[in-house]
Amino acid sequence: MASSPKLDFVTVDVFTDKPYEGNPLAIIRIPNGVSVTQEQKQRIAREFNLSESTFLHENAPGAKENKWTVDIFMTSKELPFAGHPTIGTACYVLSRTAEERGIKDGVIEAGFQLKAGHVGLRYDVAKKTAKAAIPHDVHVHKKRWSTDELFKLQPGLAVAHEKGEVKTQEDYPIVSIVKGMTFILIELESVEALAKVSLAGQSVKVHGLDQGWDDTFIGMYFYVRTGKSESGAMQLRTRMIEGPLEDPATGSAASDLVSYLSLNESKAGETLKYELVQGVEMGRRSEIFIHVVMAKDGGIETVYLEGGAVHVMEGRVTV
């Protein structure tokens, strides 16, 4: 009887240069010519039990083209795009490319084909960071999320509000970065208020999202403005809660948030810089860097997501 095929994998921690911080990611390598079904990928992702796993379809041996197809899976479904899997996989495959080709410094240009579309990449060999021009089709839903709905999932905030310790707004914007990835953006006034956010007993359910955008993942993204960096970047502390889970770093949510802020607080043709710190409350500090280039018509031209990753584990998984 033929044995089940095995695939090599690595895990990396993303948006950090320190092992066991940042957001962990499993990267499963699929050799050129090997076929793995979507069902098999879903089972493997469920086995890793991380927020996301990626499946890197490798090029033929000796191929010089810096382009790869990458599939991104949660434990329960495939995603069209997610930030930390894109950055983590880029850091892994492009650091390996630099090593194989003896490249010590400079920038490697590359690209991923995701379900959401093509993603252009730039890998800084010396800094060991990847920058991705991410897919974006920013959509602000007509429906907004009420404070009452927030308090049902966040009773700690409700109690703090009753005590006058936390201020809240009447309602909150619901924004999609691409079709299938949506976040409720909840601004709080202080890091102390952010610390009162807790895991929710159930996932967010929002009825009445705009037609064509309603088949989607939805997370709650909490944020606090903490000032400006020396380079002029807006600094933010954030947390992403999806039901009973908290994510240490969420590139898609971070891109969603800064795109919304840029649309509302920028000038046409301007380039805005953001530095986000997430995962502190979990003991997994993550540092996310984003540039948003505004078009002359006031829309968003390009969103650049940047970060590093560090190798943690490796092994083989049975298909």
Residue range 94-115, pLDDT digits in tens: 999 999 999 999 999 999 999 9
132 neighbors 94 (Cβ within 8 angstroms) = no
Task: Please indicate, yes or no, whether residues 95 and 230 belong to a single structural domain of this protein.
Answer: no
Task: Please indicate, yes or no, whether residues 237 and 273 belong to a single structural domain of this protein.
Answer: yes
* pLDDT at residue number 148: 95
* pLDDT at residue number 118: 92
User: What share of the chain in percent tops pLDDT 70?
Assistant: 99
Task: Please indicate, yes or no, whether residues 23 and 125 belong to a single structural domain of this protein.
Answer: yes
Cα dist from 193 to 110, 121, 224, 229, 318, whole Å? 41, 36, 9, 22, 45
Q: What is the DSSP string of 118-136?
A: EEEEEEETTTTEEEEE---
pLDDT digits (tens, 9 = 90+) for 67-87: 999 999 999 999 988 999 999
pLDDT average, residue stretch 150-174: 93
* pLDDT at residue number 61: 81
Give the chain's mean pLDDT.
94
Task: Please indicate, yes or no, whether residues 83 and 108 belong to a single structural domain of this protein.
Answer: yes
* pLDDT at residue number 143: 97
Domain count, the chain: 2
Establish if 258 belongs to a structural domain.
Answer: yes
Task: Please indicate, yes or no, whether residues 193 and 292 belong to a single structural domain of this protein.
Answer: yes
Task: Please indicate, yes or no, whether residues 149 and 225 belong to a single structural domain of this protein.
Answer: yes
Answer whether residue 1 shows pLDDT above 70.
no
53 closest CA partner among 74, 34, 32: 74
pLDDT digits (tens, 9 = 90+) for 269-286: 999 999 999 999 999 999
**Domain span at residue 109?**
6-134+309-318
Task: Please indicate, yes or no, whether residues 114 and 240 belong to a single structural domain of this protein.
Answer: no
Establish if 1 belongs to a structural domain.
Answer: no
Cβ count near 169 (within 10 Å): 14
Q: How confident is the model at residue 2 (pLDDT cuts 50, 70, 90)?
A: low
* pLDDT at residue number 161: 92
Measured distance CA(316)–CA(314) in Å, rounded:
7
Task: Please indicate, yes or no, whether residues 129 and 16 belong to a single structural domain of this protein.
Answer: yes
At 271 the three-state DSSP class reads strand
* pLDDT at residue number 3: 66
Establish if 86 belongs to a structural domain.
Answer: yes
Establish if 214 belongs to a structural domain.
Answer: yes
Establish if 111 belongs to a structural domain.
Answer: yes
CATH code of residue 181: 3.10.310.10
pLDDT average, residue stretch 287-302: 96
Cβ burial, residue 31 (10 Å; 0-12/13-18/19+): middle
Task: Please indicate, yes or no, whether residues 105 and 83 belong to a single structural domain of this protein.
Answer: yes
Answer whether residue 267 shows pLDDT above 60.
yes
Task: Please indicate, yes or no, whether residues 146 and 115 belong to a single structural domain of this protein.
Answer: no
pLDDT digits (tens, 9 = 90+) for 230-259: 999 999 999 999 999 999 999 999 999 999
pLDDT average, residue stretch 292-304: 95
Task: Please indicate, yes or no, whether residues 292 and 314 belong to a single structural domain of this protein.
Answer: no
